Structure 1
Amino acid sequence: MTDRITTRLLSIPRLGLGTWRLSGAEGQAAIESALSLGYRALDTAEMYGNEAEVGAGLRASGPPRSEVFVTSKVWWTHLGPGEIRAACEASLQRLGTDYVDLYLVHWPAQGMDMHQVMHDMARLREDGLARAIGVANFPPGLLKRAIETGVPLAANQVEYHALLSQDRLLEITRAQGMVLTAYSPLAKGQLAQDPNVAAIAGSMGVSAAQLALAWLLRQDGVTAIPKAARPESQRANLVALDLAGKLTKADMALLDGLPKDQRFVNPDFAPDWSN
């Protein structure tokens, strides 16, 4: 099992660092720590308000820009004509880089012009501002509509963990050669409290968080971006990469069997997840 997923549109590390709420000096320190430990994927967004810290942490660290996969996202209120490019250019300025490796529509907007949005995103790729483009928080119906525009989409980033099924989305992303990136991969800490998860993890001598991440990373076409500010947590999460290759079919089946209907990220502007 490799530490990267490579498709026709991108090559992305299986495990990255989510940076939501990592801001200020502490946020920059977290970025520097993660990169020093070997992380090579950073996930940010204009809405996070921390792109400057992510960029500063990247520049202050050892690896060259070309070795670090950087993802950012345009907010759903900035999807009108001309707004996507302006948002991307502003993100690049804050990050202090000429390009991002992946640029996503952060959330779909109700009534958005799908064709226009996707083609405005495609222009970013054509003009070199983004190496690849994709979406986030698109349920199956909307993802199919986006694909039908003919624009080459590399990824869909959604909430995904052992307590929430994304089987319908995975059917689409795998068929399309897209990556599914899991945010909130530890279910906001709920997985650590599940007795079944704790029992399996205990028998393997690992933490519930490490087991939950390994379950995701073992799956075809899935990457994960847990947020971790402390070096100890960042280091512990890296163990999941090795652990993923050791999980047996029985281990996977036990985690597969957990209830899969618990969603923790569901803002007022969220789409109809059942679509």
Structure 2
Amino acid sequence: MHVIETAHLAMPKLGLGTWALKGADCARAVAEAIGLGYRHIDTAEMYDNEEPVGQGIRDGGVPREQVFVTTKVWWTNLGDPGAALAASLKRLRLDYVDLFLVHWPNPQIPLAPTLAAMTRLKERGFARAIGVANFPATLLEEAVATGAPVACNQVEYHVMLSQEPVLRVARTHDIAVTAYSPLGKGGLVDDPALAGIGRRHGASGAQVALAWLLEQDRVAAIPKSGRGENMRANLAALDLRLTTEDRAAIAALPKDRRFVNPSWSPAWDQAA
């Protein structure tokens, strides 16, 4: 598995997203992914699936230290990330996670104390690395300015949504970026331009979209899938090599299509 290495973490470039996977189906999907070679599993307390995710990790049959596990503290619980992580670890039945993220920023809860508390959790060994999610560029700069060892920013990112401002900040500070909804919640799978590129490579449009992300420096992707054939196809995207012509066609696609924008989202135009 291709790995991103920074000063704060070593994270497999391709992971399994588990949002909306539940119960036995979730445990089976996680175990199957690990059996296929995935070594990066992403969950969150809000997903209500940490117990089956943990079961799937155990059923996967590889040593714990070989699986990179991410979970997240929900934005209303940022006042006590320690309690949130303790509850997550209990549900996962793990002693630590590899990456613990602020799931969404909360303007009502000061960022510095939250990140300070998360830093202490890292120092105590409950999280190997800490970071944030859904932080526009300006908020990511604020997070770095607290002095916390911010290792990652997880954001919606795909061929039709630019994250250049976030990427610039991340590269400046040696921060990894994880792309969630890398296929636009499935909305990119049938795009004619991507399909056309895929035909030239004997691949699908979805594989092209993933390959575009995965070839970028310090960018990971966590497509969600409960089906083995899709997991295999996503893994194959790691070996797809795009051409200059392919990248130009992708650059010409719209870059303003956001699929995840709940009422508590930050002001995305901060990143413009």
Q: TM-score, normalised by structure 2?
A: 0.98
What is the match of residue 155 of structure 1? 152
SS across alignment from 1:192: coil
Q: Which of 104, 119, 122 is matched with 1:122 structurally? A: 119
Amino acid at match of 1:260: K
What is the match of residue 93 of structure 2? 96
Cα-to-partner distance string for 1:96-139 (whole Å, 9 max, x where unaligned): 11000000000001232111111011111011100000000001
How far, CA to CA, are the matches of 1:112 and 1:249 in structure 2? 45
Amino acid at match of 1:274: D
Shift of 1:79: 1.0
What is the match of residue 254 of structure 1? 249
Q: What is the RMSD computed on CA atoms of the aligned residues?
A: 0.9
Q: TM-score, normalised by structure 1?
A: 0.96
Shift of 1:64: 0.5
Equivalent residues in 2 for 1:47-86, closer than 5 Å = 47-80=46-79, 83-86=80-83
SS across alignment from 2:189: helix
Q: Which of 258, 267, 270 is matched with 2:265 structurally? A: 270
SS across alignment from 2:34: helix
Unaligned runs of 5+ residues in structure 2 are none
Shift of 1:151: 0.7
How far, CA to CA, are the matches of 1:250 and 1:175 in structure 2? 28
Shift of 1:249: 2.0
Identity of aligned residues (%): 56
How many residues in Structure 1 have an aligned counterpart in Structure 2?
270
Equivalent residues in 2 for 1:1-275, closer than 5 Å = 3-80=2-79, 83-243=80-240, 246-275=241-270
How far, CA to CA, are the matches of 1:14 and 1:253 in structure 2? 23
Cα-to-partner distance string for 1:134-190 (whole Å, 9 max, x where unaligned): 000001111111110011100000000000000000000011101000000001122
Cα-to-partner distance string for 1:38-75 (whole Å, 9 max, x where unaligned): 00000000000000001111111221000000000000
Runs of 4+ that moved beyond 2 A: none
Unaligned runs of 5+ residues in structure 1 are none
How far, CA to CA, are the matches of 2:59 and 2:195 in structure 1? 38
SS across alignment from 2:245: helix
How far, CA to CA, are the matches of 2:8 and 2:251 in structure 1? 29
Amino acid at match of 2:250: L
Cα-to-partner distance string for 1:234-268 (whole Å, 9 max, x where unaligned): 1110000011xx21222122112211000000000
How far, CA to CA, are the matches of 1:26 and 1:193 in structure 2? 26
How far, CA to CA, are the matches of 2:220 and 2:143 in structure 1? 21
